Amino acid sequence: MSAAHVSIPRHARLATVAMNPVLMVLGLVAVVAGPFLDVPWAPLLPLAGVLLIALYLAATFLPRRLEVPVLLLDSPVQGPWEALNSPTTKTPSHGTHGYGQTYAVDLVHTPADPSRPTFGQGPAMRPPTDYPAFDRPVHAVADAVVARTSDRYRDHRSRSSWLAVVFMMAEGMVRELGGPGPVLGNHVVLRLADGTHAVYAHLRRGSLEVSTGQEVRAGQVIARCGNSGNSSEPHLHVQRCDAARVSRAVGLPWAVRGGRPDGTDGLPADGEVLDGRPADPQATRP
C-alpha cells in the first residue's frame, strides 16, 4: 500500500484534536468548581473553562470545507439497506466533524421479510436479534490492509422509544469519556491504497473475520453487523477518514459504485435505499 496522497490542512488537524470531549468536561469542571477552590488562581478557572468549552464547540460545529476528491468504493453491504444518516442530506452527517464523522453513513437492513421493528412500538429496549440487520455480513469496500480492530464490546439492547433514546444520550456522554473505542464499539479500520482509511463501527462481538496487518480483497466478508457502542439499533456505521485513529482523524468524502437508488454512483440520502451488489472483481480498484 502506498503512502497517503490526501493533504490535510494544519487547521483541520488542529480542529480535530480540539474536538476531544475531555476538553468539554474539563471546561465544565473549571466553571463550576473554580469559584469554590481556595487557591490564588481560582478566579481565573471559570474564564479558562469558558475558553475550553468555546474551543470544543467551535471545532465541533463550525462549518469546515476541504478540497478533497471523492473516492469511489464498493458497497460495504449486500441487499437493500436504508440510509439513516448520510452526507447527501447534511454535512457533517452526524452533526459533528469529531472522530472523522463528517461524511459518515448509517445503514439499516430493510428486507421485505422479516420487517424491521417500528420505533415507538413494542418494548422500549428490544434484543438486537429482533432486527434484520443484526448478524448480516459486511464487506471490504476495496482491496486494503487491516489497520485496526476491536472486538471487546457487548451487543446491547436497542433503544426503541424516546425515553430509551434519552437514556442512550446519557450513556453516550459516559462513553465519550472513554475515548472513541466505547463510542465505535467493535470496529474494523481498513487502510486503502491511497493511504486513507475506511472505518466500520458497531459490529457484532465475536464476528470479526480479519486481524491487524491482514490483506483483504474488495467484497470480502470482514465482520458482521451488530449493536455495540453508541448505537440505538443494529446498523452499520461506515466512514472514510485520513487516519486509522479516529480521535485525530479528519473525515473525507466517498461514494458507492451504484449506491444511488437509480443505480448511479453515489451515496443514498436519508430514507433512500442502497441496493448493495457483490463487488465486480474486474472493476478498477482505487
pLDDT at 17: 65
Is there a single domain that holds both residue 204 and residue 75?
Answer: yes
Residue 285 domain-assigned?
A: no
Q: What is the pTM of this model?
A: 0.84
Residue 284 domain-assigned?
A: no
Where in the sequence is the domain holding 41, given as residue range(s)? 10-61
d(CA 53, CA 96): 15
Structural contact between residues 183 and 214, judged by C-beta atoms closer than 8 angstroms: no
pLDDT at 157: 93
Residue 254 domain-assigned?
A: yes
Report the relative pairing of strands 71-73 and 254-256 from DSSP bridges.
Answer: parallel
Residue 104 domain-assigned?
A: yes
d(CA 154, CA 186): 8
Is there a single domain that holds both residue 52 and residue 166?
Answer: no
Of 61, 82, 102, the last residue of a domain is: 61
Rg (CA), the chain: 20
Q: Is 202 exposed, middle or buried (0-12, 13-18, 19+ CB in 10 A)?
A: buried
Is there a single domain that holds both residue 225 and residue 105?
Answer: yes
pLDDT (tens digit, 0 to 9) for every residue of the chain, 286 residues total? Answer: 444 456 665 556 666 766 667 777 788 888 888 888 877 888 888 888 888 888 777 776 666 667 788 999 999 999 999 999 999 998 888 888 888 898 999 999 999 877 888 887 888 889 999 999 999 999 999 999 999 999 999 999 998 888 888 888 888 778 877 888 999 999 999 999 999 999 999 999 999 999 999 999 999 999 999 999 999 999 999 999 999 999 888 899 999 999 888 889 999 999 999 988 766 544 444 4
Is there a single domain that holds both residue 46 and residue 127?
Answer: no
Residue 262 domain-assigned?
A: yes
**Beta-ladder partners of 215:** 145
Residue 169 domain-assigned?
A: yes
Helical pair 162-177 and 21-33, crossing angle rounded to 10 deg:
90
Is there a single domain that holds both residue 140 and residue 236?
Answer: yes
User: Could you tell me which residues come within 8 angstroms of residue 242 by beta carbon, excluding any fewer than 6 positions away?
Assistant: 4, 6, 8, 100, 195, 196, 197, 249, 250, 252
Is there a single domain that holds both residue 149 and residue 259?
Answer: yes
Q: Which SS3 state, helix, strand or coil, does residue 17 take?
A: helix
Is there a single domain that holds both residue 159 and residue 230?
Answer: yes
Distances (CA, A) of 16 to 10, 71, 218: 10, 21, 29
pLDDT at 24: 75
Is there a single domain that holds both residue 78 and residue 211?
Answer: yes
Number of domains in the chain: 2
Structural contact between residues 181 and 148, judged by C-beta atoms closer than 8 angstroms: no
Residue 282 domain-assigned?
A: no
CATH number at residue 214: 2.70.70.10
Report the relative pairing of strands 197-203 and 254-256 from DSSP bridges.
Answer: unpaired
Report the relative pairing of strands 105-109 and 236-241 from DSSP bridges.
Answer: antiparallel
Is there a single domain that holds both residue 24 and residue 104?
Answer: no
Nearest to 235 by CA among 245, 244, 226: 226
Is there a single domain that holds both residue 43 and residue 182?
Answer: no
Residue 162 domain-assigned?
A: yes
Is there a single domain that holds both residue 270 and residue 141?
Answer: yes
Is there a single domain that holds both residue 55 and residue 133?
Answer: no
pLDDT at 64: 65
